[in-house]
Amino acid sequence: MNSILIRNATIVNEGKTFRGDLLIKDEIISAVGPAGQLDSPKDSQIIDASGLFLIPGIIDAHVHFREPGLTHKGDIITESRAAAAGGITSFMDMPNTVPQTITIQELNNKCRTASEKSMINYSFYLGATNDNITEVLKADPEEVCGIKVFLGSSTGNMLTDKEESLRILFKEALLPVAAHCEDEKIIRKNIDNYTKEYPEEIPFSLHPLIRSREACFKSASYAVRLAMEYNTRLHILHVSTADEIKLLSNELSVKEKRITGEACINYLWFEDSAYDEYGAMIKCNPAIKTKFDREALRQAINNDLLDLIATDHAPHTFEEKSGSYLKAPSGVPVIQHSLPSMLELWHEKTLSIEKIVEKMCHNPALIFKISQRGFIREGYKADLCLFDPDDQWT
């Protein structure tokens, strides 16, 4: 039996922070106790974690690892290694690859690849389109984390905008429906208007006005209406505006909610003025909004209107990102730096360490019904993250 005893760690788990020991046997958490209270089994490895924090391994419920078909940007090996370096032990990958993950066969192919390449635990979303709703409804809830639906087009061109298809999906889905909420007509109109105003090149600073708060709120409102009509298990991805937060509720526990909301690192960290400095490097969909929106998102994390923190990790090459506004792809690589970014907010006293662990570890496990992970509990998998809270890097 292989055993590891972690001693004198500052354990953060289920709303509590305490100095304790943790024993691992054969990759399972065998015991948790106050510091100095656990005996060391014979021949066990002992780790002195004095001054270090010990939290459950982070579950990132929103990544784009680019495999298959886009591996010049990154692949499951490189991106899962970056995730592990950042304290992430599980990921859920989106379907806008090449080919798109819109059939059970392509889903199985992805799982097979991940079983050979991934450094950490994995799951994959099945993508909905206007024409494959019958196929996605065949998905086994034990094998698929959710169904991704693009209500606004983004990288990969998987727009689903037929009312009939969406109603069938929201009515029949047994899995969480994870929705990218932006109104396509509003975005197209804004692009047309700004193209006329700036015929040479649209400034990146206009990205938040093109992919506007109106586009986000209108689309999210539509998704919420459908979910309430059909009692769908709806998960709204990358909420970026204070307006969308008004559609969410904190009256129920996260396990009881039928509609949940996600915050992503980009929107908790940047504000729209950063487009003047960083341009395409922080171009993402939806766009990063105002300082007011950023502060509203942070507050919604604290008051449980927003339920989890994810990355929306989306790498591109530097050459691709060097293009003009209409050519540079949207997406920001952030997975290795997500925990350090949130720890910075902890140091600033914007978020508590307990709240960070709740949103990055506990709640993803609860929302997506991941068993034996996301918590430090006896009998659970020893998916753990040990780090120095004062280091700049994990």
pLDDT tens across the length of the chain (394 residues): 689 999 999 999 999 999 999 999 999 999 999 999 998 888 899 999 999 999 999 999 999 999 999 999 999 999 999 999 999 999 999 999 999 999 999 999 999 999 999 999 999 999 999 999 999 999 999 999 999 999 977 666 688 999 999 999 999 999 999 999 999 999 999 999 999 999 999 999 999 999 999 999 999 999 999 999 999 999 999 999 999 999 999 999 999 999 999 999 999 999 999 999 999 999 999 999 999 999 999 999 999 999 999 999 999 999 999 999 999 999 999 999 999 999 999 999 999 999 999 999 999 999 999 999 999 999 999 999 999 998 876 5
Residues 37, 70, single domain; the answer is no
Residues 235, 313, single domain; the answer is yes
Instruction: Report the pLDDT value the prediction gives residue 276, as an integer from 0 to 100.
Output: 97
Instruction: Report the pLDDT value the prediction gives residue 41, as an integer from 0 to 100.
Output: 86
Written as six digits, the tokens of 254 are: 């996260």
Written as six digits, the tokens of 392 are: 């700049």
Residues 320, 256, single domain; the answer is yes
Residue 381 lies in a domain: no
Residues 24, 125, single domain; the answer is no
Residues 118, 95, single domain; the answer is yes
Instruction: Report the pLDDT value the prediction gives residue 326, as an integer from 0 to 100.
Output: 97
pLDDT in tens, 61-101: 999 999 999 999 999 999 999 999 999 999 999 999 999 99
Measured in residues, the chain has a length of 394
pLDDT in tens, 126-156: 999 999 999 999 999 999 999 999 997 766 6
Residues 123, 265, single domain; the answer is yes
Written as six digits, the tokens of 383 are: 């998916």
Please, are residues 303 and 254 in contact by the beta-carbon 8 Å criterion?
A: no
Count of domains for the chain: 2
Residues 140, 257, single domain; the answer is yes
For residue 178, give the CATH number of its domain: 3.20.20.140
> Residue 56: beta bridge partners?
384
184-197 vs 213-230: helix axis angle to the nearest 10?
170
Residue 168 lies in a domain: yes
Residue 140 belongs to domain spanning? 57-367
Please, are residues 268 and 294 in contact by the beta-carbon 8 Å criterion?
A: yes
| Beta-sheet strand order (sheet of 88-93) | 58-63, 88-93, 121-124
Instruction: Report the pLDDT value the prediction gives residue 154, as an integer from 0 to 100.
Output: 64
For residue 24, give the CATH number of its domain: 2.30.40.10
Residue 377 lies in a domain: no
Instruction: Report the pLDDT value the prediction gives residue 123, as an integer from 0 to 100.
Output: 98
Residues 38, 8, single domain; the answer is yes
- DSSP string of 355-380, one letter each residue: HHHIIIIIHHHHHTT-TT-SS--TTS
Instruction: Report the pLDDT value the prediction gives residue 394, as an integer from 0 to 100.
Output: 57
Average pLDDT, the chain: 97
**Measured CA angle at 240 (ends 121, 238), to 5 deg:** 20
Residues 187, 39, single domain; the answer is no
Written as six digits, the tokens of 330 are: 């949207």
pTM of the shown model: 0.97
Residue 390 lies in a domain: no
Residues 28, 136, single domain; the answer is no
Residue 146 lies in a domain: yes
How many whole angstroms separate alpha carbon 44 and alpha carbon 6? Answer: 10
